[in-house]
Amino acid sequence: MQINLMPDLSLLAVVVIFIAEYFVVTRFFLRPINNVLEARDSEARTAQEIYEQSLGRFNEATNQIERQLHDTRRDASQLREKFRAEAGAQRASLVERTTNEAKKLVTEADDRLKRDVDEARKKLVRDAESLARFAAERILGRSV
């Protein structure tokens, strides 16, 4: 048994049909699918780049806001300390002024009380002398 391995024209027709089918499949099936896949890949890369840029801007804006918040808190703390110091100074001044006024009032009241005590003593002495003279005149029956 002998096999005939000589190509005939049908082989050429199969090769031509294969090449034609290759071009048809490539042009109308594989190329559009590859274009869609490349477009998706391009869109995914673009979306990833946009996401990374947006994330970078977001982080930058967040850091800026945090810095501003930190600066504002620091300024508020300094302002609070300034007002606290001013209030302390004003309070000390008010306490000192009130203390001085109270001391002045106490001194005036003390002086007035001493004067009143001295006057009361003098009056008591005069009244005692007057009563003693009156009692002596009554007892003795004559003026003393």
CA distance 49 to 35: 21
Alpha helices by DSSP H, listed for the chain, are 9-25, 31-140
Each residue of 85-140: pLDDT tens digit? Answer: 999 999 999 999 999 999 999 999 999 999 999 999 999 999 888 888 888 888 88
CA distance 44 to 67: 34
CA distance 51 to 127: 109
CA distance 65 to 73: 12
pLDDT value of residue 1? 60
CA distance 122 to 113: 14
CA distance 90 to 98: 12
Each residue of 4-61: pLDDT tens digit? Answer: 777 788 889 999 999 999 999 999 999 999 999 999 999 999 999 999 999 999 999 9
CA distance 48 to 44: 6
CA distance 101 to 97: 6
State the residue for tokens 């082989």: 11
